Amino acid sequence: MKGIEEALRTAQDRGKDLVEVAPLANPPVCKVVDFSKYRYEKEKQKKEARKHAKGGQVKEVRFRPRIGEHDFDTKMRSIQKFLDGRDKVRITVMFRGREMEHKDLGQKIIERIKVILGESATVESDPMMFGNRMILMLAPQKK
């Protein structure tokens, strides 16, 4: 009991508060600090931790079966950027009208994407058709 009273007296002499930092430790650990400043710093740490804890967003990149070479390269760069940023990527090949008869072109685009990305992405789900769209999910490779 003498230690607590002494710590409280020391805190009062300095015009600060006695804050219990680790209550489960044996013996409990306390600090002599300005409590409002201590609380502000803790809030700031929590906010910073939430900022860096990214919730894995899903980005979508859309292709058409008859996409040009330059457009394809541009979209591949954006996919790579998303994967480097630790985001998942949904690749969608959209078919219109008679393009639905040539699903093999969409399949070729998806296979080409898989080959180019190779080791930097993991395929989460195989390509599947939803109406007039063929969809493939990619996740960044675990490091």
* Domains of the chain with bracketed CATH: 2-52 (3.10.20.80), 58-140 (3.30.110.10)
Using only C-alpha atoms, the chain has a radius of gyration, in whole angstroms, of 28
| Partners of 31 in beta bridges | 19
What is the structure's pLDDT at 143? Answer: 62
Place of tokens 């685009």: 109
Distance CA(89)–CA(101), nearest Å, equals 26
Among candidate residues 117, 116, 138, 115, the one with its CA nearest the CA of residue 126: 138
Helix (H, G, I), strand (E, B) or coil at 8: helix
User: Residue 90 pLDDT more than 90?
Assistant: yes
Q: Which two tokens stand for residue 102?
A: 């040539």
Instruction: Give SS3 for 95.
Output: coil
**pTM (two decimals):** 0.59
Please give the average per-residue pLDDT across 76-104, as a whole number: 90
